[in-house]
Amino acid sequence: MIQRAHKIRLKPTKAQEQLLRKTVGVTRYAYNWGLDKWKELYSRGEKTGAYVLSELWTRERPDWSKEVSTCPPRHAFMNLQGAYKAFFRHQNEEPVRHKKYKHDSFYMTNDKAHVDGKRIYLQRIGWIRMREALRYEDARILSYVISCVAGEWYVSIQCEILEEVRTDSTSVVGVDVGIKHWAVSSDGLTLDEPKRLKHLRREVKRKQRLADRKKKGSQNRKKTQLKVSKLYHRIDNIKKDAIHKFTSTIAKNHGIVVIEDLCIEGMRKGVKSIRKGVQDSCMGEVHRQLMYKCNNFVKVDRYFPSSKTCSHCGSVLAELSLNDRTYHCPSCGHTIDRDLNAALNLLNEGLRKLSTVGHTVKDCGASPKDLE
């Protein structure tokens, strides 16, 4: 059994949207209240935790918080406990207060909500229409997370399903991620930045300038900022759509994918021009989707010279600048696109690693000679 989540857009009425916002507000208030109470109890040396905070909340919560379900505030205390556990393990920074309009969401257990076709029932809110039905049939629903992004409401339904196999193919494919091309596979499939993003980014800059000219705290400023958020949300959706189509094609046609173990966080701290390109190219998202969609994946060491190695003869260049988009091999004279050359090298290295551990695979993808 594996867990999968299906995120669906909601179509609430104005009355339902008001109740959703109240629930988000109570959840945020409960988290901040729990944070202050945790610090107070901790300073006095008393025992604290999600259970202790829930008991105190039941006795001390304000009357207006009783309009919404009791499940979201109690789960906020569990999130706070998890945040403090990560802090004490030196994994994260100390928890801070949640702000309004930033990551607005709340949690519902499977006994406080249920799905029926294209609608969902939430306790104290009622039946809300959904854009589509849950895609997983005969799935065991675990929980629901309702969130608001750029004024739009979504529900993420966490399900437990049988392990799915997208393809029976045993072929191996190498995928190289980059800046000019977001991703290139060894079989010739390319993922490029959608052209409409350039226009949307210009529109974002224009709207941001308009928002800066508005008076701080005014309704006009809030309206313009909402338009900026909607543009960012649209850009994010366009990116995810392109990446999902690319990774789904790879997963349906190949059983094993070979990727490079890149330190993307380190690349984001480099030169400004490279940092922006890495941020826009969604390298981490491409790798994340390939790892959970494909049947199997192989990671190649991050120091493997996939771009500097000739996929035809195996010779390695001493230097290769980022401006060189075409690979010219001085040893054999082979000329090939830089990213495609890297993808072929990743494929060859992945096949070598698989043969080393004793796996039997059939390379049904295109060979380097086929792509010369």
The tens digit of pLDDT for each residue in 313-328 reads 878 887 777 777 787 8
Half-sphere exposure of 308 (CA within 13 A, CB side): 9
The answer for residues whose C-beta is within 8 angstroms of residue 322's C-beta and 6 or more apart is 179, 274
Q: Could you tell me the residue ranges of all domains in the chain?
A: 2-161, 172-193+244-371
> What pLDDT score was predicted for residue 277?
63
pLDDT at residue number 266: 65
Judged against a pLDDT cut of 60, whether residue 220 lies above it is answered with: yes
- Residue 366 reports pLDDT greater than 60: no
Q: What's the pLDDT at 348? A: 87
Q: Residue range 4-16: average pLDDT? A: 95
Mean pLDDT across 197-206: 94
Of the listed ranges 83-87, 118-122, 208-212, 253-257, the least confidently predicted one is 253-257
Q: Give the span between the Cα atoms of 41 and 27, in whole angstroms.
A: 21
Calculate the average pLDDT of the chain.
87
Location of structure tokens 């980014």: 201
Decide if pLDDT at 55 tops 60: yes
Q: What is the pLDDT of residue 361?
A: 41
User: Residue 363: its pLDDT value, please?
Assistant: 39
Q: What is the pLDDT of residue 349?
A: 87
The pLDDT of 343-352, averaged and rounded, is 88
pLDDT of residue 369: 34
For range 55-80, the mean pLDDT:
94
Over residues 239-297, the pLDDT tens digits come to: 999 999 999 999 999 989 999 887 766 666 655 555 566 666 788 889 899 988 888 88
pLDDT above 70 covers a percentage of the chain that reads 91
